[in-house]
Amino acid sequence: MTDTSTPPRARFAPSPTGYFHVGSARAALFNWLFVRRLGGTFILRIEDTDEARNRPEWTDGIISALDWLGMAPDEGPFFQSAAEETHAAAIEALWDSGALYACGCTREEIDERTKQRAAAGDPTPGYDGNCRDLGLPRGDGRALRFRTPDEGVVQVHDLVRGEVEFPQRALEDFICVKGNGKPLFVLANAVDDRTMAITHVIRGEDQLPTTPRQIMLWGALNAAETRHLDLPMYAHLPLLVNERGKKLSKRRDPVAVEMYREQGYLPAAFRNYLALLGWSPGDEEIAPIETIIERFRLEDVQRSPAFFDIKKLSHINGVYIRALPVGEFVEAVRPWVDPVPAEWAPGGWRDPDTGAPATDPPPWPPERFDAATFAALAEVTQERVSVLGEVPELVDFLFLNGAPVDEDSWQKAIAGDDMALRILSDALAAYEACPWDKDSLHEATLAIAESVGRKLGKAQAPIRVAVMGRTRGLPLFDSLAVLGREETRRRLAAALSRLAPSG
């Protein structure tokens, strides 16, 4: 059971080597949910010891994404690189106790011996303990390896996967310290977890193979430092897979949390969806965060891989958007329609392969945006989007100097319709004097439809494209009422001129 007599301390420990992966976000959320339910502490530790791959903007992205999701840490961020003295002291203690030994083997030598063993009928891969009993001194670029026991079993008590056993004879003497004296993450993690009094390690299933090493190191540190610290409890979360059942890949799948933020997913909706990746709050999947926290149990997390379904995510996001009060929707969508300098707005994320942004800036000049005009159509806009990034295309006709140009819509609804000329001409005349509200516009357009023997939907298509630019979008008559008589008739006249130019 995960209920503890003392408040738990769980850490989220990402490496800043790229955009913030949705799998990392799910791991962070499950840590956060777990400690929130039990009144514990959520700790952020940045594992930044890989100097060649770390970049400050990746760290900033992690912190910003957690803040956006409403999961700011209770402690941290702490940086693993700042704990060099603690790591060095642990290395000395392990060396003095005999738990570590120096190894001068190169990777090429190890691979060659592996080939030789395979040729002799021993297919066991990995390091063969060549330097274990040579008594080599430290230094000269020699790595330090952990002396793994030859017999016995390392047992992982996993809160998700149950009891998992690893025979020690199958575990090689692994490197803990590189030849330059820097600890590898397996040792640094164990030392940092001890320093921070971590009680629970909740992370992805792909980290399970490293757990026996950390357990052995923990025991060796207890002996070497002559202080016994209880081993953390482990919980390894199921993999996230795409629609083909393959593990989500940064190279193949849309996995950057920053991208989803820029496309206009609400943080509460994104967090709700992440909670469903391997767990469920019960009969209803869409639930307030308070309910999710109350019901979350690590023992209820599934073992099987979880499908990251973008369609389902978008559906949930649409539900959240439609549930917003209109005023909150207007405020939420502002960065996409009326970005304010020095405040967050979409555009910072770029696809690492193509350089393309997740969403484009508003297609109208900033000075043409009018908040009152947008607010007048906010409610009908809110009903029609699943992400906030879809809003600009629905309302661009309000703020552009003329109807948007969509050639496919023009060809389908106007150039390809032999009645379009008459419909547009009749609309231009009818809209000159009719009352300017959506009901009166509806009645006037219905009369035009009846005069040409069409249903309203087909008759209004040329008008929609002439004024709003596309065959699909916001309700026509609501839109015309807000756009205004003068601008509507100007666009109808421009469409007629294009359709039947004079001379």
Model confidence pLDDT, tens digit, residues 411-437: 999 999 999 999 999 999 999 999 999
From residue 10, give the alpha-carbon distance in Å to each of 39, 217, 235, 346. 11, 19, 11, 32
The pLDDT value given to residue 2: 52
* Mean pLDDT of all residues in 76-86: 95
Peptide bond into 183 cis (omega under 30): no
The pLDDT value given to residue 274: 98
Strand partners, 162: 158
Structural domain boundaries in the chain: 324-395, 402-499
The pLDDT value given to residue 183: 94
* Residues of the chain above pLDDT 90, percent: 86
Which parts of 170-279 fold into alpha helices (H)?
185-195, 211-224, 257-263, 267-275
Query: Band of the pLDDT at 503, cuts 50, 70, 90?
Result: very low
Q: Indicate the SS3 state at residue 165.
A: strand
Q: Over the Cα atoms of the chain, what is R_g?
A: 31
Query: Band of the pLDDT at 350, cuts 50, 70, 90?
Result: confident
From the number of C-beta atoms within 10 Å of its C-beta (0-12, 13-18, 19+), residue 221 rates as: buried
Q: 283, 304, 275: which is closest to 31 by C-alpha?
A: 275
User: Can you point out the beta strands (E) in 278-354?
Assistant: 306-307
Digit-coded pLDDT (tens) for 289-332: 999 999 999 999 999 999 999 999 999 999 999 999 999 999 99
- Residue 455 token pair: 């249903």
- Residue 265 token pair: 């997913």
Digit-coded pLDDT (tens) for 201-232: 999 999 999 999 999 999 999 999 988 999 99
| HSE-CB of 173 using CA atoms within 13 angstroms | 21
Is residue 70 left, alpha or beta, with left meaning phi > 0 and alpha meaning psi from -120 to 50?
Answer: left
The CATH number that domain 402-499 falls under is: 1.10.10.350
* Mean pLDDT of all residues in 272-280: 98
On the question of pLDDT at 21 being above 70, the answer is yes
φ/ψ of 173, rounded to 5, equals -70, 105
φ/ψ of 496, rounded to 5, equals -65, -40
Instruction: Judge contact between 41 and 74, C-beta under 8 A.
Output: yes
On the question of pLDDT at 199 being above 70, the answer is yes
The pLDDT value given to residue 123: 74
Digit-coded pLDDT (tens) for 54-73: 788 899 999 999 999 999 99
Digit-coded pLDDT (tens) for 129-186: 999 999 999 988 899 999 999 899 999 999 999 999 999 888 999 999 999 999 999 9
Its pTM stands at 0.93
Query: Band of the pLDDT at 4, cuts 50, 70, 90?
Result: low
The pLDDT value given to residue 109: 92
On the question of pLDDT at 39 being above 70, the answer is yes
- Residue 424 token pair: 């547009």
φ/ψ of 163, rounded to 5, equals -85, 125
Rounded Cα gap, residues 55 and 58, in angstroms: 6
